[in-house]
Chain A
Amino acid sequence: MSEELQMCLDEAVEHLDACDRAAMALDQAASAGEEPSAVAVAELFRGVHTIKGNAGMLGLETLVGIAHALETLLDRLRAGQVAVGRDLVDVVFGGLDALRTETLARRNGVPSGLDHRAIAATILAALADGPTATERGWADRFPGWRLVSGAEAPIAAALAEGRQQLYRLEFALPAAAAAEPLAHPAVEKMLALGSAAAWCRGEGDRWWLAWASAADAETVGRFAPDELAACEPRPDGRMPAAPADAPAREATAGLAGGLPADAGEGTIRVGVALLDTLMTLVGELVLTRNQVLQAAELVAGSGLQPPVQRLSQLTTELQEAVMRTRMQPVGQVFEKLPRLVRDYCRQSGKEIELVQEGAETELDKGLLERIRGPLTHLVRNALDHGVEPPAARLAAGKPAAGTIRLAAMQEGGTVIVEVSDDGRGLDYDRIRAKALVTGIVPVETLARMNEAELAQLVFHAGFSTAEAVTDVSGRGVGMDVVKTDVERAGGSVELRSEPGRGTTTRLKIPLTLAVIPAIVAWVDGQRFAMPQAAIHEVVRPGEGGASLALVRDARVLRLRDELLPVVDLRTVLGMTAAGGGDPYLVVVHLGGRAIALAVNAVGDPEEIVVKPLPAFVNAVSTYAGVTILGDGTPCLILDVTGLASRAGLAAEPAGEAQQAASAGPIAEEVAREKMLVVAIAGRRYAVPMGLVTRLEDVPGERLEAVGNRAVLQYGERLLPVIDPAPLLGGVPAAAPHGGERQPLVVVGEGAAAVGLRVDAIHDVDADRRAMQAAPGVPGVLGTIVLGGRVIEVLDVPAALASVLGPASAGRVESQEEAPCP
C-alpha cells in the first residue's frame, strides 16, 4: 500500500470518529426536539468533505460516491432546508458506517463489496422523503427575534462554517425609539464592525441585538461601548437566548454537543514504536543513573555529588515525561459507546441515556486498549440485562428512560472506571439456584454467603443467569472474561448490585503498565517477578495459621478455614528439581479462587519496568513480559492466569478468552464450554469441565463397598463413587480387579464431591457450537459436536440423583436460568 493511501485511510478513520461524535450531538438534538447545533453539522460536513477530497485524489471511487451523497444531505441540513429527525440521523449514521466499512476494508486490502451507487441513492432518497423540505426562516425558528438587516441564507452558511460568529448585546432603548432600534449609537458602532446580519428583540425598554460578524471576540470587546451590558460571541452559531430564558452572561466556553476543541493544534503524530523505544532508553537511563549514584557515593568530596544529584532529578523528570506521552484520555474508549447505546435503543425499544463522567482521565495507551473489550461488554450487559423495558420500569415506579453511567476518575496510582445502571439489578435467589445446579459452590457454603459474595459468583467461568439469547450479549457469558482481562491488565473488578435498583461494576486499573510493583521470587535459583496486583499474601506454612497438608498425592495449603491447591512452580515450569524445600507460598487470586504458588524465597516488593517478551518466546503464555533487575540481568514476569491454566486450575483457557474478548462480539466467541470426553460402557460421553473438580486414576482395590455403594478413601473423607453406566442403558461396570486402574471423574467440591466411574478419560475439547438438547434420553443432557464427532453430554445432576437419591437431587432440581447481568 502506498504511503499516501495509508495516510488517507488513517485520516479518514479519524474524520469518521469525529463525524460519529458530531452525529451523536445531532441525534441528541433531534431526540430533544431542538435545532441541531450548527457546529455539529459543520463538523460533519467538514469531515465528510475532507474524506471525499482525499479519496478523490487517490481515485477511491466508492468512498467518493458515498461521501458525495452524504455531503449533499449535510449541505441541505446546514442550510436549514431539511429538518433533523431521528430517521435522518439514522441515514447519516448509515452513510458514516458505509464509509467506515469501505475505509477499513481498503486498509486491510480486501474488497468491501459495497455498492456506492445504491448507498448514495438511499442517502439521497432520505432527502426527498424528508418530512419538511421547505425552507424555514430564522424568524420562524427563533420566535421573538426579528431580522433588522442583512439576508438570512448566506449568513446561515457563514455561521455554520464558523466564518462568522454571532454576538449579542443588550441595551436600553426608549419605547418611542423601538421602530428604529438600529439608530441607537451603540448599535451603529457595533454594526460598523462588519455586520452581515442583525436581529433584535425587545421587551419594554430593554433590547437585545444579535448580529453576525467576522470580527473576533477580542476586537468586538475592544470596540464595545460602555453602555452595553453584555457583548459576547456565540461560538455555536445559535441564536442567543434572551435574558428571560437565560442569565445575562452565558458561558461561552464548551461547544455544543460536547465537541472537543480542535485537537490538531500543537500536536504531531509520533509512532508508538518510537515512544516504546524512548521508554526503553529511559528505563536504561534510570538503571545507569542508579549505578552512577552508588559510584558517586564512594568518591565523597570530589565535587561529583551536586551534578549527580541534578542528573538524578532530571532522569526522574524525563522518565515521568516520557510516560506521560503514552497517556491518553479514557474518553477514547468511551467514544464508541454512545453509538452502541443509541443503536441498541432504536432496535430494542428501550429508552436509555448514557451519561459520561471523567472522560478526560488519563490512562496508559496500552491499558486503554486492554479495557476496551471489558468495558464494551459491561455496557452491553447493562443494556441487555440491566435496564428494563420502559413498561417494566414504569411498573416498578422508575422513570421510563434508564440511565447507564460511565465514570472514570483517578485515585492515587490507579484509575477507577465504573459502569452503572439503574436497572433491575442481580437476582440473588436465581444466582443461588444456579450455583446449586452447577455445583460451583458447596451447598453449606452457599447457605452462608451474603449478597456481596453471591454477586462475585457471576465472575465464575461459564456462570450466567441470563434467560434469553440476544444479539447484544450473546449467551450472557463473559463476566469471567471481563475479570480475566482486567486482571491481566493488572487491575481488579468489583460488582455491587441492589435488586431493583441497579448494578455497578467497578474496574480498578493501574495508571500505567510500564512500571508496576512486583515481588521477585526464587524458584530453583532463578528469579521470577510476580505482579503485586495478583498477589494476595505470602505465607510460610507453620506460621500464622497456615499449614501444608497432603490430600492424596496433592499438596494443599490449609490457610485459616480454606484449603488452597498448591502449585509447584518448579513442576509447572518444567524445571529440574534441585532439591531444597519451598518454605514460601505465594497466595494469588484467580477469578474468585485462590491458589498457592510454592517458591524457594521471596524478595522485597520493587518497582519493575515491564518489557514485552522478544521474538521466539512471546508465545509462551506463562509469562506476562520481562524486566531488567537492578543488577542488569533480565527477569521473567510470571503471568499468574497463564500459569494456573497451565497447571490445570483455571476453568477457561485464558489465552483464548483474551483473544475472544478483544475480537468484538465477545459473548458469541467465548460461549463455548470445555468438555471432558470420557468413555462409559464402551461409548463416548462429554462432561462439562465446569462440573469437574478433579480427575483420578486409582488402583482398583482402593474402591471399597459400603452397603450397595462404592466408596474411595479420599484424604480424610470417603468419596462416594457411582457408576453412570446403568442410567445410560449400559451394563454396570464389573468391580475392578486388584491389579486394574480405575479412572474417576470427581464432580462437586468438599462434602458434595462424588466420583464417577468411567472406562477411560480421553481428552478435553471445547464446544464450538451450542448444545442440542436431547429431551427424553435418560442421563443425557443433549449432544454436541467435538472434533467432528457427535457426542452425548452426560447429565451429571441426573446421574447423581439416580444413584444417590432425592437428597442429592434436591440440590440439582432447578434447571431454569434466571436473568441478571
Chain B
Amino acid sequence: MSLNVPSRGAERRRENLGGPAGVERRDLADRRAENNVLYVCFRVGASTYLLDVHEVLEIVPAPSPLPVPLAPPAVAGLINLRGRILPALDLRSLLGEPPGPPPALGVVAIAGEDVFTILVDEVDDVVALSPTAFRLPPATLGGASRVLARAVCQHRDALLVVLDPHGFRRLVDPAGSTREAV
C-alpha cells in the first residue's frame, strides 16, 4: 500500500495550510464547474490519502495531543480545538506501520456524530476528481486498510486511497465500546 503522489509546489502547500478557507479562495469555481468532487490530499509516511472536503472540517497546525493512558492504541491523545476536545488518531498505528516523526498537521474529520483529528505529515493539496476516476479498493488490500478505504483512484501517475471516516470507529472501537477488563 504505497501510493505515491508527486509532491506539489511549496507555495501551494502553504496556501492550503489555513484549511478549507484557503481552498475556497482559489479556483474553486472552476473546479466545481467540472462537476468534480473535491478532496483534501494528505500524506502519512510514504502513503497519500484523500478525504472528501465535506468530511473535513479544518486543518490544524502542529497538534501535540495529550496522551490518554488506557485508551485504544490508535488514539494518540486529545487536542483542544478552540474549547472542543477532539481525539487524535494515529493512522500509522491503525495500519500497523512503524511510528514516524511527530505529526505536522491534523486533519479534522467528521463522520456522523464523531469528530476527530487524523494526524498527518503533510497536507498536499485539494484535488478535484471526476467520479469516473474511482475504483473499488483492490481485493489485495487487506486488514485495516480495507476498512478505512472507500475507494481508490488514479490521479496523474499515482493511485490514491480515498478514506472513509466512518471506518475509523469500526477500527478503533470494534465492539462499539472499549470497556477494559477490570
Contact = CB atoms under 8 A, between A and B. Distances in A.
A274 to B, nearest CB: 15
B83 A615 contact: no
B116 A614 contact: yes
Contact of B75 (A617, A628, A632, A655): A617
Most chain B CB neighbours (cut-off 10 Å) among A281, A613, A619: A619
B180 interface: yes
Interface string A84-116: 000000000000000000000000000000000
A634 interface: yes
B72 interface: yes
Contacts of B71: 616-617, 620
A611 B79 CA distance: 13
A280 interface: yes
Contacts of B1: none
A776 interface: no
Nearest to B82: A284
B159 to A, nearest CB: 29
A573 B70 CA distance: 6
Q: Give the 3 A-B CB pairs with smallest separation, nearest first.
A: A284-B83, A573-B69, A619-B177
Contact of B80 (A526, A620, A632, A646): A632
Contact of B172 (A616, A633, A655): A616
Give the contact-size bracket for chain B: 20 to 34
Contacts of A636: 66, 68, 78
A280 B83 contact: yes
Nearest to A655: B179
B87 interface: yes
Interface string B142-182: 00000000000000000000000000110011000111101
B85 interface: yes
B131 to A, nearest CB: 30
Given A617-B87, A626-B78, 11 more contacts: A283-B83, A526-B67, A615-B115, A616-B71, A616-B87, A617-B72, A619-B179, A620-B180, A635-B66, A646-B70, A655-B182
Nearest to B80: A634
A449 interface: no
A613 B79 CA distance: 12
Contact of A280 (B72, B78, B84, B113): B84
B165 to A, nearest CB: 11
Interface string A520-551: 00000010000000000000000000000000
11 contacts: A526-B67, A611-B85, A615-B173, A616-B74, A616-B87, A616-B168, A619-B178, A621-B179, A622-B69, A635-B66, A648-B182
A319 interface: no
A636 B71 CA distance: 12
Contacts of A655: 179, 182
Contacts of B177: 619
Interface residues of A, number: 32
B51 interface: no
Given A283-B83, A632-B80, A653-B182, A616 B89 contact: yes
Nearest to B178: A619
Interface string A558-580: 00000000000000011100000
Interface of A: 280-281, 283-284, 287, 526, 573-575, 611, 613-617, 619-623, 626, 628, 632-636, 645-646, 648, 653, 655
A241 B71 CA distance: 69
Contacts of B89: 616
Most buried by A among B78, B168, B173, B180: B78
Nearest to A287: B83
B114 interface: yes
Contacts of B82: 284
A622 B115 contact: no
Contacts of A575: 69
A251 B72 CA distance: 64
B180 A621 contact: yes
A614 B86 contact: yes
A710 B182 CA distance: 32
A628 B113 CA distance: 22
Contacts of B78: 614, 617, 626, 634, 636
Interface in B78-102: 78-80, 82-87, 89
- Of the listed residues A281, A284, A626, A636, the one surrounded by the most CB atoms of chain B closer than 10 A to its CB is A636
A614 B179 CA distance: 15
Contacts of B74: 616
A632 B89 CA distance: 20
Contact of A615 (B68, B80, B114, B179): B114
Interface in B42-86: 66-72, 74-75, 78-80, 82-86
Contact of A646 (B85, B168, B178, B180): B180
B108 to A, nearest CB: 12
Given A614-B78, A616-B173, A619-B173, A281 B83 contact: yes
